[in-house]
Structure 1
Amino acid sequence: MSIKNKLKTLFAMDDEYEYIEEEVATSSSNNVIPATSNNVINLKSVKTSSSKVVLCEPRTFDEAQQIADNIVNKRTVVINLQRVEHYEAKRMIDFLSGTVYAVNGVIQRLGSQTFLCAPDNVDVSGSITEAFEEEFNKGW
């Protein structure tokens, strides 16, 4: 009998409890201690992908391809079309709408000439409505 067991029987009032010693095994790479539950995740092993938001202020329709490349590469793009001619801005939105549709993303108007293009890996919730909505719809 070990000293621990002798002391336990000496000071224990009730013998009905049984104590079992368990060894806790630790893996060599300092990961999570194995558990009976599958809910344990090592936070150091979780790889987070860095999300990027690209701000664009194009001046010509030729820059639409670069914006589309960002969307295809899973980056969220905010576009300010104030410096583009009205006709070219409409063409750009049409082109980018097709790109967003191709990647199952979403395009949303943020202001009178500002748009948000987000790929499918970004959740966009809510909407922005302002007094300029009537004015904007007349021109577009």
Structure 2
Amino acid sequence: MGVMNKFLNIIGLREEEDMPEDHRSVDEPEEIETNPFEQRKVKGNVVSIHSQKSVRVVLNEPRSYEDTQEIADHLRSRRPVIVNLQRVRPDQGKRIVDFLSGTVYALSGTISKIGPQIFLCTPDSVEIQGSIKEMMDDENSYN
């Protein structure tokens, strides 16, 4: 109960005079509560495979240039976004890609074309490997 008495003293609900003399002079070692991950971390080089939280990929199909701000907000929140531009006019699609290119540049991210009028925008925390172009070239050779 020594820890509880100290806590009550700190917040002012109990004064030191209320405590018996033998408790005042004896300092009990404080118990530090740690979660299992912290205990493993202290013991050595053990790394939890579940330490990274899950990443959500946002699918977005803008209808106009005004919808681009929402995509940029997702990127600022470090979420990758797949953008389908098939429902906008070509001139608006170009403006949207220009805006998103500037956004991912400012965030040190990347923008990649993954299909006709479909783009993958990622923040710097997401790494992209491979190229869809190679697969598209393979598809064309079969036709």
- Which AA in structure 2 matches 1:91? R
How does the TM-score come out when normalised to structure 2?
A: 0.63
Higher-Rg member (1/2): 1
CA distance in 2, matches of 1:64, 1:124: 22
SS at match of 1:67: helix
Over residues 88-120 of structure 1, what are the superposed CA-to-partner deviations in whole Å (9 max), with x where a residue is unaligned? 000000000000000000000000110000000
Is 2:131 the partner of 1:123? Answer: no
Structure number with the higher helix fraction is 2
Is 2:114 the partner of 1:110? Answer: yes
Where structure 1 has 5 or more consecutive residues not aligned to the other structure, the ranges are 1-26, 132-140
How does the TM-score come out when normalised to structure 1?
A: 0.65
Task: Evaluate the alpha carbon distance shift between residue 92 and residue 40 of structure 1 in structure 2; reply closer, same or farther with a 3 A threshold.
Answer: same
> Where does residue 138 of structure 1 map in the other structure?
none
> Where does residue 15 of structure 2 map in the other structure?
none
SS at match of 2:132: coil
Shift, 1:39, TM fit: 1.8
Where structure 2 has 5 or more consecutive residues not aligned to the other structure, the ranges are 1-31, 138-143
Task: Evaluate the alpha carbon distance shift between residue 34 and residue 60 of structure 1 in structure 2; reply closer, same or farther with a 3 A threshold.
Answer: closer
> Where does residue 40 of structure 1 map in the other structure?
46
Shift, 1:47, TM fit: 3.8
CA distance in 1, matches of 2:125, 2:65: 26
> Where does residue 88 of structure 1 map in the other structure?
92
CA distance in 2, matches of 1:39, 1:127: 35
What is the root-mean-square deviation in Å for CA atoms of aligned residues?
Answer: 2.3
Task: Evaluate the alpha carbon distance shift between residue 120 and residue 34 of structure 1 in structure 2; reply closer, same or farther with a 3 A threshold.
Answer: closer
